[in-house]
Structure 1
Amino acid sequence: MTRARALRTERIEELRLKKDETRREWRDGKTPNLVVRVGRRDKVFILMVRCPGERDPTRLKIGTFPKTTLDRAREVAAEWNAMIERGLDPRKEAKRREREAAVDERRTFRSAMEDYIAWLPNRILNAHAAADARALRAEFLDPDRNGWIDKKIADVTKADVGQLIDDIRGRGVPGRALEALGLIKWFFVWANGPARYQGYGLPGNVTGNPVADVTPNVMQLVRGVRERSLDVAELRAYWRASLAMEYPDGPLYRLVLLTGGRRRDEVEGIRWSEIDIGKKLWIIPKERVKHGNELGALYVALTDEAIALLEELRRRQPEGWGDCVFSVTNGQTPYTGYGMDDFRARVEEEFRKLLPGSAMDRFWLHDLRRVVRTAMSKLGVPKEIAEYVIGHRKKKDYNQDRFVAPCRKAMRQFTDRLLQVLDGSAAGFGADNPDIDE
């Protein structure tokens, strides 16, 4: 019997069937049991071999030429021949490796963190679940920020986490770094829980938590008292920038201010079912209120300007729109895709137009709450009412009044003066002499 010649890529390309043939096989004289099978449509590398425990030879497909190269086919064939010599079936080994790969993938930090984020709404205190999920995705699931995202969770070290937290602080947001440390510590506690640690390949004790002993003091992270507010020129720039932005971003930023410096989570999650246009009232359910379990629902008095903005949004939304006021899914889910960096850049651009040569300090939406609270103090609004307007009240209080009427009056005072500040007819929020520069 003539020994088969070693196959060459050029020869495989030239192999053709005769007119009356539907299939033909050529052996490779270099690698035992390797065959290229030529059919009407394609050329396939196969290993013709008797697998352990089987009586008849089996054709094991390696791959289709030229996607699978000759060199690669020989590598696979040699590997499978070696398995068979050791009494292993390549098919069963492939399935076993697939299972192991699936387990390994599940045990990566990325996969575990995705599981944790999906679980967050189920925790007992879940008012901040959406905000926590956003922060976790931004800081720990962004490959540009987290270089160890695809490490096995068991291999993540204290140094890995520490460097990432330091990088966050290095961006000039120490408060965000402190928040991120708290979030990642809770994640590792969750991952090492009794029902989960084995699935993630963790020991289920303190050794499986690389940040168990990492405290804010260790990282030299201190929660500072933020004092940033927006002055008159900055407020005008903020308003102009929001007017230049289309739905949902621009109206969302304006509603934050027109409703008394509402928290971002409250405005982004606003539902039509929470709003009573006739009573000019927005009732935020306790599930979406900070400390809502202790404070209950929050009653927000809506001014004519806030109602006008909401009614305009309602008119523009097509028939069949869902309950979410701000949404890119036809009202089915709330909008969370706005970029604060983009908006901040727009505000800074408007600020430079107002005050050429000046620079505006970095700000956050939360800083508007100081604008509102300070303005109400200057306008003579009673402290208890001003605090309730921005969503502050004592956790334990026998007074269950919602202060709707006085809050409505306070919001009317604030909004009237705000509009004057924005159009330039008032230089500030001082009640006695609004023309004195503040």
Structure 2
Amino acid sequence: MARQAKGSAKGPQIEGGPVRLDDRSVAQLTCPAGKKDVLVFDAAQRGFGVRVEATGRRTFLFQYSVAGRKRRMPLGVFGEVTTAKARSLAEKHRGTVVSGGDPWGEQRTAKLEAVAAERRASEQAKADAFTVSRLIEDWDRLHLVHRRASYRADAPARLRRHLPDLLEAPAVSVTRAQAVKAIDGAVNRGGPVSARRVLAYARAMFGWAQGRGMLEANPFEGLPAPGQETARERVLTAPELGLIWRAACALPAPAGLFVRFLMLTLARRDEVAGMKWGEVSGDLATWIQPGARTKNGEPHSVHLAPAAQAVLEGLERGKAEDLVFATLDGDKLTAFSFIKRQLVKRVEAERAEAAKKAGMEPPQPLPDWRMHDFRRSGVTWLADAGFPPHVADRLLNHVQGAIQGVAAIYQRAQFQAERKAALEAWAAHLVACGEGRSTSPKVVPIGSRRTSQKGG
């Protein structure tokens, strides 16, 4: 005969036999000494029972079999649910079993699906938060830090400027159609040359993310480049340089001074825009470009001819960290397209006025020109003036110059004296052009220093 629960001859049975479970009887149940837990089933309702643990915890359950396997389904903890509530749940589940269902399996499947749904929601939330703007930040912080300074400065800024409709879109959701639309928009916004840069940057950035497992696809991969990449050959003539010089003199500061300094030094546009007073010598005779801002990553010394010094004298000298050609708000000068339009407007106005005075029809606009053409025009004039190619290479601070191969390894001279003579000759030419005077390129370089281009 089964052992009775301690306390009453008619109390609930602990082992073997069923017990009529209600709140009172369940409260009296205890676990036998030496056992972890014990099961007690109801005398009236098949499969309905309670697990009594040594700790005193009592958990209602419904036991049934499906496909020959026993299932025990928790119904709640006594004290949190009443016996009557647990009995009602057991009856409901028994109906499911009778109908051929598996309530425990169904509940487990529902839980697993809920967990999976929660995981998917979390992953989707992360994907939604990883926008193209965030991708640009990560690419800049983790990858571009190892690239040259000019690339790092241009790539993120250009992508943000020309991909405005994609910045807040999840990077993982960007489609090929959206990529095509974005590049077409870049063409309309900045022209085919700028759009090709945008495409190259976007393709590199998405490829980097794909390689790191952050994205599964690169929507910019394989897109045809807009327009046709052609090497520019525009060399400005002396009259054209004079027109631009006079137009720059008429522009308000700092734009006009910026353009004149750009022409005089043959430096890159972004190098001049980022120039700080701490990089200029006290006597204004030398400008040392830090390697962090040069294209080849090497510091570059630029001699400032008297005309270039005069430009700087027209500006109020600031602290070492202050920009030389800052806007009125102290920000970096970036409105290059606007400055170019103002130059073109003044150049064409002068040409039209000259034609009117001569009784001629208004002339056709000058062939397209860029600020970058100043560099090509300058070294072309210097070559005609007799300055050797390697001096021009040092002036332009090219990554690869005329001296290459083994010779480049041994030839470390900077040709400072020749560079100074070249820039002063070029500055004199620009001033003469601005005054409408003709100049001859027959300038004899100082000394007879000609470095051999053969290694040894």
What TM-score does the superposition give when structure 1 sets the normalisation length? 0.62
Select 1:307's aligned residue among 302, 306, 309: 309
Select 1:256's aligned residue among 251, 256, 262: 262
Following the alignment from structure 2 to structure 1, what is the Cα–Cα distance between the partners of residues 417 and 237? 28
Which segment drifts farther, 370-379 or 234-243? Answer: 234-243
Question: In the alignment, is the contact (CA less than 8 A) between 1:270 and 1:325 conserved in 2?
Answer: yes
Go from structure 1 to structure 2 and tell me whether the alpha carbon gap of 1:228 and 1:353 turns closer, same or farther (over 3 Å shift).
same
State the partner residue of 2:197.
Answer: 179
The one-letter code matched in structure 1 to 2:262 is: V
After TM superposition, give the deviation of residue 361 of structure 1 in Å: 3.3
State the partner residue of 2:130.
Answer: 107
State the partner residue of 2:241.
Answer: 235
State the partner residue of 1:298.
Answer: 300
The one-letter code matched in structure 1 to 2:366 is: M
After TM superposition, give the deviation of residue 268 of structure 1 in Å: 1.3
Helix, strand or coil: the match of 1:300?
strand
State the partner residue of 1:431.
Answer: 442
**Match status 1:386 vs 2:409:** no
Select 1:399's aligned residue among 391, 411, 415: 411
**Alignment map for 1:341-352 (pairs within 5 Å):** 341-352=337-348
The one-letter code matched in structure 1 to 2:218 is: N
For structure 2, the residue ranges without an aligned partner over 5 or more in a row are: 1-79, 81-118, 353-361, 444-456
The one-letter code matched in structure 1 to 2:163 is: F
Go from structure 1 to structure 2 and tell me whether the alpha carbon gap of 1:128 and 1:361 turns closer, same or farther (over 3 Å shift).
same
Select 2:374's aligned residue among 368, 373, 394: 368
Following the alignment from structure 1 to structure 2, what is the Cα–Cα distance between the partners of residues 219 and 414? 37
For structure 1, the residue ranges without an aligned partner over 5 or more in a row are: 1-54, 56-95, 142-146, 433-438
Go from structure 1 to structure 2 and tell me whether the alpha carbon gap of 1:429 and 1:191 turns closer, same or farther (over 3 Å shift).
farther
Helix, strand or coil: the match of 2:262?
helix
**Match status 1:282 vs 2:284:** no
Select 1:209's aligned residue among 188, 206, 218: 218
Question: In the alignment, is the contact (CA less than 8 A) between 1:237 and 1:347 conserved in 2?
Answer: no
The one-letter code matched in structure 2 to 1:283 is: I
Residue deviations 1:193-225 (CA, integer Å, cap 9, x gap): 53x72xxxx3xxxx422233x16xx44764311
Which segment drifts farther, 414-423 or 127-136? Answer: 127-136
Select 1:335's aligned residue among 332, 335, 343: 332
Helix, strand or coil: the match of 1:397?
helix
Helix, strand or coil: the match of 2:372?
helix
The one-letter code matched in structure 1 to 2:436 is: G
Residue deviations 1:344-386 (CA, integer Å, cap 9, x gap): 2212222222221231333322111111011112222222212
Select 1:123's aligned residue among 129, 133, 146: 146
State the partner residue of 1:246.
Answer: 252
State the partner residue of 1:10.
Answer: none
Helix, strand or coil: the match of 2:229?
coil
Percent of counterpart pairs with the same letter?
26
Residue deviations 1:34-59 (CA, integer Å, cap 9, x gap): xxxxxxxxxxxxxxxxxxxxx9xxxx
State the partner residue of 2:107.
Answer: none
Structure 1 or 2, whichever has the larger Rg, is 2
Residue deviations 1:212-247 (CA, integer Å, cap 9, x gap): 3x16xx447643111123333432332233223333
After TM superposition, give the deviation of residue 186 of structure 1 in Å: 1.3
Following the alignment from structure 2 to structure 1, what is the Cα–Cα distance between the partners of residues 225 and 279? 42
State the partner residue of 2:88.
Answer: none
Question: In the alignment, is the contact (CA less than 8 A) between 1:120 and 1:126 conserved in 2?
Answer: no
Go from structure 1 to structure 2 and tell me whether the alpha carbon gap of 1:233 and 1:101 turns closer, same or farther (over 3 Å shift).
farther
- Matched residues, number: 310
The one-letter code matched in structure 2 to 1:237 is: L
Go from structure 1 to structure 2 and tell me whether the alpha carbon gap of 1:171 and 1:140 turns closer, same or farther (over 3 Å shift).
closer
**Alignment map for 1:54-203 (pairs within 5 Å):** 103=126, 106-117=129-140, 122-141=145-164, 147-169=165-187, 173-194=191-212, 197=214, 202=215
Question: In the alignment, is the contact (CA less than 8 A) between 1:379 and 1:414 conserved in 2?
Answer: no
Question: In the alignment, is the contact (CA less than 8 A) between 1:418 and 1:429 conserved in 2?
Answer: no
Following the alignment from structure 2 to structure 1, what is the Cα–Cα distance between the partners of residues 284 and 246? 29
Question: What is the RMSD computed on CA atoms of the aligned residues?
Answer: 3.3
Poorly superposed stretches of 4+, deviation over 6 Å: 98-102
After TM superposition, give the deviation of residue 117 of structure 1 in Å: 4.4
Go from structure 1 to structure 2 and tell me whether the alpha carbon gap of 1:172 and 1:273 turns closer, same or farther (over 3 Å shift).
closer
What TM-score does the superposition give when structure 2 sets the normalisation length? 0.60
The one-letter code matched in structure 2 to 1:276 is: S
State the partner residue of 2:321.
Answer: 322
Question: In the alignment, is the contact (CA less than 8 A) between 1:256 and 1:262 conserved in 2?
Answer: yes
After TM superposition, give the deviation of residue 129 of structure 1 in Å: 0.9
Following the alignment from structure 1 to structure 2, what is the Cα–Cα distance between the partners of residues 342 and 336? 11
Question: In the alignment, is the contact (CA less than 8 A) between 2:199 and 2:225 conserved in 1?
Answer: no
Following the alignment from structure 2 to structure 1, what is the Cα–Cα distance between the partners of residues 247 and 273? 18
Helix, strand or coil: the match of 2:325?
coil
